[in-house]
Amino acid sequence: MDLPDTPAADHARALADLARVNRVTLTHRPVLRWLDAATRDLPRGTALSVLDVASGHGDLLRAIHRWGVARDLRLSLAGLDLSARSIAQAQAATPADMAIAWHTGDVFGHTPIPPADLIVTCQFAHHLDDVQVVALLRWLERHARRGWFVADLHRHAVPYYGFRLLARLMRWHRIVRIDGTISIARGFRRAEWRALLARAGIVAEIRWRAMFRLCVGRLK
Ligand SMILES: C[S@@+](CC[C@H](N)C(=O)[O-])C[C@H]1O[C@@H](n2cnc3c(N)ncnc32)[C@H](O)[C@@H]1O
């Protein structure tokens, strides 16, 4: 989907379908649950900045916005994504009254990124090789003032075959069907996260969550 020669219409439809996949497979739930825990002791009205790295269609940030309103926090939200097309679609899908700042840029590059209390990233790590995952963990550790959370996939036969079936039933875009299956095959096992954290020199919590999510996070 992220290949530059993917036609704009296919990219738009696939990205919108990815947001549907996220809804049906409860992709955001572990992130919102972590945010709940991370902010449990904060009084109502506290100001808090949250950055979503590799924000895609922006659906996670919109869910965080709704969560923040319900939690009565004064959130300042930002999304960063390498793809200018994704940022444009995220912007277009975001209601005008949801104040979210969108930045096009490479998390590994020199894009100036606004500092944030909490940084989350969802369904991104499995796109990276091990060296990049270690770099991402170190980057998160350096940039997040209060904590960070990586939500990703648990590599396992159940979601691998289950997703193929679900994607056919739901008639999701061919790119989403193919990318989704590849993504699950590129997901993680707990021992792999342990090794990656050790290489990064970081101690963090690894948590399995429903729908075969394997998440890593740390509160400072
Ligand atoms: C599978 S999508 C995940 C999107 C969204 N987080 C979600 O859960 O639906 C991966 C995203 O990572 C973005 N991406 C890839 N490499 C990146 C980089 N180096 N810096 C920032 N974003 C990147 C892609 O443009 C794409 O939008």
- How many angstroms does the Cα of residue 65 sit away from the middle of ligand 1? 19
Looking at residues 3-15, what average pLDDT do you find? 76
Q: Whose CA is nearest to atom 12 of ligand 1?
A: 54
Check if 25 has its Cβ closer than 6 Å to any atom of ligand 1.
no
How confident is the model over 192-213, as pLDDT tens digits? 999 999 999 999 999 999 999 9
> Is the predicted pLDDT of residue 34 greater than 90, yes or no?
yes
- How many angstroms does the Cα of residue 185 sit away from the middle of ligand 1? 17
Check if 102 has its Cβ closer than 6 Å to any atom of ligand 1.
no
Q: Whose CA is nearest to atom 11 of ligand 1?
A: 54
Residue 82 · residue 3 · CB < 8 Å: no
User: How confident is residue 9, by pLDDT bands cut at 50, 70 and 90?
Assistant: confident
How confident is the model over 58-72, as pLDDT tens digits? 999 999 999 999 999
> Is the predicted pLDDT of residue 185 greater than 80, yes or no?
yes
Residue 117 · residue 46 · CB < 8 Å: no
pLDDT of residue 15: 77
How confident is the model over 128-175, as pLDDT tens digits? 999 999 999 999 999 999 999 999 999 999 999 999 999 888 888 888
Check if 33 has its Cβ closer than 6 Å to any atom of ligand 1.
no
**Domains (ranges, CATH) in the chain?**
26-154+189-219 (3.40.50.150)
Check if 133 has its Cβ closer than 6 Å to any atom of ligand 1.
no
pLDDT of residue 18: 80
- How many angstroms does the Cα of residue 44 sit away from the middle of ligand 1? 32
> Is the predicted pLDDT of residue 2 greater than 90, yes or no?
no
Distance CA 195, CA 155 (A): 16
Residue 168 · residue 140 · CB < 8 Å: no
Check if 18 has its Cβ closer than 6 Å to any atom of ligand 1.
yes
Other CB atoms within 10 A of residue 198 CB:
11
How confident is the model over 77-108, as pLDDT tens digits? 999 999 999 999 999 999 999 999 999 999 99
pLDDT of residue 175: 82
* Minimum-distance ligand 1 atom for the alpha carbon of 109: 19
